[in-house]
Amino acid sequence: MQEQRKVSVRVPVLARVEGEGALELDIDNGTITNLKFSIFEPPRLFEKLLEGRDFQEVPDITARICGICPVAYQMSALHAAEMAFAVQITPWARALRRLLYCGEWIQSHALHIHLLAAPDFLGFDNALTMAKTFPRVVSRGLKLQGLGNRIMRVVGGRSVHPVNACAGGFYSAPPLDEMQTLREELEAARADAYELVRWVANLPMPDDQQDFVSVALHHPDEYPFNQGRIISSDGLDIGIEEYEQHFNEFQMPHSTALHAHLHGKPYLVGPLARVNLLHGQLPSHLLELLAGSPVQFPSRNMFHSMAARALEIAYSVDEAIRLLAEYSLPDQPHVPVTTRAASGFGCTEAPRGLLWHRYDFNADGTVKTARIVPPTSQNQARMEQDLHQSLQTFGLEHDATALRLRAEQVIRNYDPCISCATHFLRLKVNRS
Amino acid sequence: MAMNNTKPTVAVYKFSSCDGCQLAFLNAGEALLQLAERVEILHFAEAGMLNEDVQVDIAFVEGSVNTHHDEERIRQVRANSRYLITIGACATAGGVQALRNIHDNGGWHQAIYAHPEYLDSLSTATAIAKHVKVDLELWGCPVNTQQVMQAVATLLHGANPAVSRESVCAECKRRGNVCVVVAQGQHCLGPHTHAGCNAICPHMGRGCYGCYGPQGVIYAGAA
């Protein structure tokens, strides 16, 4: 029925992603002959820059890997240092870190939903154009994003590259009156966050069921931010120090970001992986927001990532309110740190998924070697696999523009942070 | 800078960076929507506007020059822009990745990548002004919304934006912070760092670590 047909799609710069990525797609007579999601953002060599740096400088440097999720890079780095130096932070500091992370999730997820992804679902080129037709939706989104930023400003001094977290806890305790105001602002926005979940869950979404392995951090008592074991939908359950024995990274010619496999296969990290694995830990009143919508978790539809993100915004708003209600001033914002020659691991849930760090420290607390595995490089192999499958399902007979738009929409489900992905390159050389 | 009667045009370009300075726009909330009313944003990839080779009145540039392709691109951006503003430490000074300039970089790519030949990467990360004329430099790691919006507003009124020559110390005193050097003996770069952050680090009880770049004379010690 079809004529022999060749289609080439080239997207030299992908819009509405963080950092610089590109897409190459060739279809020859109904078969995909070439598909590459390339990352060409130049490497910034952070793992080498960290060598010789004092452990307290590390979070200030790793924050600069990503302006959108600096808190994640600070958290994984701090927990690694604390593990290496056998530092036990106080419950107060742990709760405040959780609050800081809530701020980052709200900010990053709201930015992604409204400024990056939603225009795809509603047929706009960008959010500014979308705002003319859906002013209330965009305004609600920007308000929530602003609230995430507010949390980071109050707890961390500023929202991009906050300055307050340190090994041992925090440099200072945010004042009670500011925390009280913040709590009131969050309470006033709770209804907006819930409404957002309903709105996203009812957006028109392609029905595309795929098989994939979800990976996330699991903590027995709470939805995870900073602590837990690494689990997968395939039954993996390991300590964070065992990561390297199960996951491996490799370089591809078309990308400055390394790809990663779990037991030789692509896998998914991020909001959908988390909600798929851990929806049982989300309060039922949040899951009920999905009632009547086509979205249910666990889900095998990658387009439901956006609903997972919205759900995590609502969770973070609730959680932030809870943490703020319990907030009090501590005796000391941080405990002392005594350095020693040791290795430490840090693994936390960045907005985009598992962010794993390992540091070997010298006795004086300076970094000997560092290794950082960001979520986007973990998702890259899975993204290419998804593109193959979703474009087949979509129909390769579509014209180049339709294929490009669908491919971009698929890529944006992962909220790839390309700035992050290129900045970590492992030191182990595997050269033939 | 005199503008035509039509809406002034703006582009935001990214070079090697963390994307954090573009957030001065993307985190601006309602101010972003207002900006879009006052100017026409023609290129801003992260926000969805793609028009890389467009001619604009004001170009904002984030990030430092790290590849051969970057070198060509920044020349093109300059040729297409009437007024070029660098935003943030990477564009203005090279950024944290420029630390590699002082090390033996040659071996780094080899040590890190199994296949360094796949990469287009220069041995240095350099500021935009090393390559083309820059009309205004906004310092900060990151810059904040107020800095970029103020620059745009000033240009829209036909004036040249001025950057404060103050140091963090001045902001810190105005904020009423207790000096972390005098009171606690901490290291603090506040006296020699550009103002702009509102002294957040001393405010939180730690020394300034210089996000806004050097200000005034700096004594680096005996040679």
Q: What is the ipTM of this complex?
A: 0.92
Cα angle: A206, vertex A208, A209; to 5 degrees: 150
Instruction: Check residue A79 and give its pLDDT.
Output: 98
Residues of A in contact with B113 (CB under 8 A): 43, 251, 425
pTM: 0.94
CB contact under 8 A, B96 and A64: yes
Q: What is the mean pLDDT of chain B?
A: 90
The predicted structure's pLDDT at residue A400: 85
C-beta neighbour count of A36 within 10 angstroms: 16
Helix, strand or coil, per DSSP, at residue B37:
helix
Closest CA to A144 of A101, A179, A189: A189
Taking a C-beta distance cutoff of 8 angstroms, is the pair A51, A38 a contact?
Answer: no
List the single residue in B47, B96, B142 with the smallest CB-CB distance to A115: B47
Q: Which residues of B touch A126 (CB under 8 A)?
A: 47-49
pLDDT digit string, tens, across residues A18-31 = 777 788 888 888 88
In A259-415, at which residue ranges do the beta strands (DSSP E only) sit?
259-262, 342-350, 353-361, 367-373
Instruction: Say if B17 is an interface residue toward chain A (CB within 8 Å).
Output: yes
B150 Cα to chain A: minimum distance (Å) = 19
pLDDT averaged over chain A? 91
The interface residues of chain B toward chain A in range 110-169, judged by CB-CB distance below 8 A, are 110-115, 118-121, 125, 141-142, 144
Contact check, Cβ <8 Å, B19/A419: yes
Higher pLDDT, B39 or A257: B39
Q: What is the pLDDT of residue B86?
A: 98
Q: How far is A165 from A56, CA to CA, in rounded Å?
A: 10
Share of residues in chain A with pLDDT > 90 (%): 75
Q: Is the pLDDT of residue B5 over 70?
A: no
Residue A258: pLDDT over 80: no
First to last CA, chain A: 47
Q: Which of A13, A158, A172 sits opposite B45 (nearest CB)?
A: A13
Rounded-to-integer distance, Cα B18 and Cα B39, Å: 25
Residue B31, pLDDT > 90, answer yes
Interface contact flag, B45 A15, Cβ < 8 Å: yes
* Shortest CA distance from A155: residue in chain B: B204
Residue B223 has pLDDT above 70, yes or no: no
**Would you call B30 an interface residue with chain A, using a CB distance cutoff of 8 Å?**
yes
Residues B11 and B200: their CA atoms lie apart, in Å, by 30
Higher pLDDT, B117 or A94: A94
Q: Which of A17, A103, A47, A79 is nearest to A379 (CA)?
A: A17
Least confident of A8-12, A88-92, B6-10: A8-12
The pair phi, psi for residue A7, each rounded to 5°, is -130, 135
DSSP state of A43: P
Q: A216-220, A274-278, B119-123, B176-180 — which is least confidently predicted?
A: B119-123
Q: What is the pLDDT of residue A109?
A: 97
Q: Which of the four pLDDT bands, split at 50, 70 and 90, describes residue A428?
A: very low
Please report residues of A whose CB lies closer than 8 A to that of B26.
111, 115
Q: Which residues pair with B13 in a beta bridge?
A: B61
Q: In the predicted model, is pLDDT for residue A178 greater than 80? A: yes
Question: Other C-beta atoms within 10 Å of A87: how many?
Answer: 20
Q: Please name the member of B115, B120, B200 whose beta carbon is closest to the beta carbon of A253.
A: B115
Quote the pLDDT of residue B178.
Answer: 94
Q: Is B107 on the interface with A (CB under 8 A)?
A: no
pLDDT at A10: 81
Whether B201 and A163 have beta carbons less than 8 Å apart is answered as yes
CB atoms within 10 A of CB A2: 8
What integer pLDDT is reported at residue B217 of this predicted model?
A: 64
A427/B16 Cβ within 8 A: no
Write down the pLDDT at residue B152. Answer: 95
Q: Which residues pair with A342 in a beta bridge?
A: A361
Judged by a CB distance cut-off of 8 A, whether residue B45 touches chain A is: yes
Following DSSP, what letter does each residue of A318-353 receive, concatenated?
A: HHHHHHHHT----S-SB------SEEEEEEEEETTE
A429 has pLDDT over 60 = no
Q: Which residues of chain B lie closer than 8 angstroms to A253, CB-CB?
A: 115, 118
* Digit-coded pLDDT (tens) for B101-140: 887 555 666 666 666 666 667 778 999 999 999 999 999 9
Give the whole-angstrom CA distance, residue A312 versus residue A309.
Answer: 5
The pLDDT, as a whole number, for residue B119 is 65
Closest-CA residue of B relative to A256 is B119
Average pLDDT (A394-400) is 89
Lowest mean pLDDT among A198-207, A208-217, B103-112, B132-141: B103-112
Of B140, B196, B27, whose CA–CA distance to A104 is shortest? B27
Do residues B35 and B26 touch, judged by C-beta distance below 8 A? no
Contact A159 B27 (CB under 8 A): yes
Strand partners, A230: A217, A238
